[in-house]
Amino acid sequence: MGETFIPLADLRYAAVVPEVPRRAQAPQGLLADRLGRPLRDLRISVTDRCNFRCSYCMPKDVFDKDYRFLPQTSLLSFEEITRLARIFIAQGVVKLRLTGGEPLLRKHLETLVGQLAALRTPAGDAADITLTTNGSLLARKAQALRDAGLQRVTVSLDALDDAVFRRMNDVDFPVADVLAGIEAALHAGLAPVKVNMVVKRGTNDDQIVPLARHMREHYGPQVVLRFIEYMDVGATNGWRMDEVLPSQEVVQRLSAAFPLEALAATAPGETAQRWRYRDGGGEVGVISSVTQAFCRDCNRARLSTEGKLFLCLFASRGHDLRALLRGASPEGTAWSDAQIAAAIGQVWAGRDDRYSELRGALQADAGRGERRVEMHYIGG
């Protein structure tokens, strides 16, 4: 027999194969980690590729034409993703978010959406299925995704000014095409559309008020704009604290132009602090993962495109679920859904990640351990 080669890209991040408990109990949907946090939200990366080269995620000097992305044979198939999603839903997950990279680069993604839309929770409810995209392909895909069962979409848009936006995506992509994608999503019935802007001080912070004004005047409550603090995800984006614009300052700038009033959270684990325009012009939010960590309520797990489970956006080590999907037990039989569910439950029960709360101390140790996973690999 010939030798078996593992593609180099598969070894990009350290991972362990989860232990499968000897006695696998039926999932109860009541998982809790070491800090008492439940598992409710699964973010599924369907590709590690993207057609943008935003400096805070996939800088062009690292992700150039010679960069080796994951080979097609490494990616989870739609059937494998759906099987894992079914297992996670049995363990309490109620929200599935498709992400990337740029998820719309994955061919026939609406087929996967349809498969996920057919899943049901133990109570018989459909899961909440959402998608995060840079919007570049959304105009041509929105209706098919909606018809397949997609419920909501989040579009990344870091500037309204075309020159600023082209510089940030670093592939000269026009802002008008992203705005067309938002229009198509609304027309397809995916309202309200969430629009996320990553704010970098000195790069695009002058776009905060113009973008808010545009969304208010053109879409009102149909679009919810959210401002995200520039984060130290991965090791390639050259993150510096002096480029972080605290959300408190974002709110101050917005309030000076459009008076705001605070809104209560709608669900446990919600990442955004919500605000409403006093004149009824809609809603905005801020996500303050640097200056106001929300680790204590984090109920999210992330699945990479080739089946590694990460318990934190800032993790460096994953858990190889693909090995369980494609491998066999010591007895030579395929692992059952119940066995994989038990393995996932055991992994979650050991979770104690809270990077954002401990950022200062953990950064002091940076460089002495494994590098953190890149955002394009597991999604934001």
State the pLDDT at residue 6: 47
Contacts made by residues 142-147, CB under 8 angstroms, sequence distance 24+: 142/181, 142/184, 142/185, 142/187, 142/188, 142/190, 143/184, 143/187, 143/188, 144/110, 145/109, 145/110, 145/113, 145/188, 145/190, 146/188, 146/189, 146/190, 147/110
Q: How far apart are CA 39 and CA 29, in angstroms?
A: 8
pLDDT at 5: 43
The answer regarding whether domain 8-378 maps to CATH 3.20.20.70 reads yes
Walk along the chain (380 residues) and give the pLDDT tens digit of each residue: 344 444 545 556 668 899 999 887 778 778 999 999 999 999 999 999 999 999 888 889 888 999 999 999 999 999 999 999 999 999 999 999 999 999 999 999 999 999 999 999 999 999 999 999 999 999 999 999 999 999 999 999 999 999 999 999 999 999 999 999 999 999 999 999 999 999 999 999 999 999 999 999 999 999 999 999 987 665 556 667 878 899 999 999 999 999 999 998 887 667 789 999 999 889 999 998 877 776 788 899 999 999 999 998 877 789 999 999 999 888 889 999 999 999 999 999 999 877 666 655 455 455 445 566 776 777 76
Structure tokens given for 163: 């020159």
Tokens of 28: 């109860």
Cβ atoms of 100 and 39 closer than 8 Å: no
All structural domains of the chain with their residue ranges: 8-378
Cα separation of 371 and 317, whole Å? 9
Continuous H helices in 72-156: 78-90, 109-117, 138-148
Whole-model pTM: value is: 0.90
Amino acid 238: pLDDT: 61
Give the Cα separation of 343 and 322 in Å (integer): 12
- Residue 300 CA to residue 154 CA, distance in Å, equals 17
CB 287 within 8 A of CB 229: yes
Written as six digits, the tokens of 8 are 């180099």
State residue 313's pLDDT score: 81
Q: What is the pLDDT of residue 132?
A: 97
Please list, in sequence order, all residues whose beta carbon lies within 8 angstroms of the beta carbon of residue 367, skipping any fewer than 6 positions away.
Answer: none
Confidence (pLDDT) at 269: 65
d(CA 161, CA 177): 13
**Residue among 292, 256, 287 at smallest CA distance from 274:** 287
Residues 96 and 131: their CA atoms lie apart, in Å, by 8
The structure tokens listed for 64 are 């150039």
Distance CA(57)–CA(374), nearest Å, equals: 7
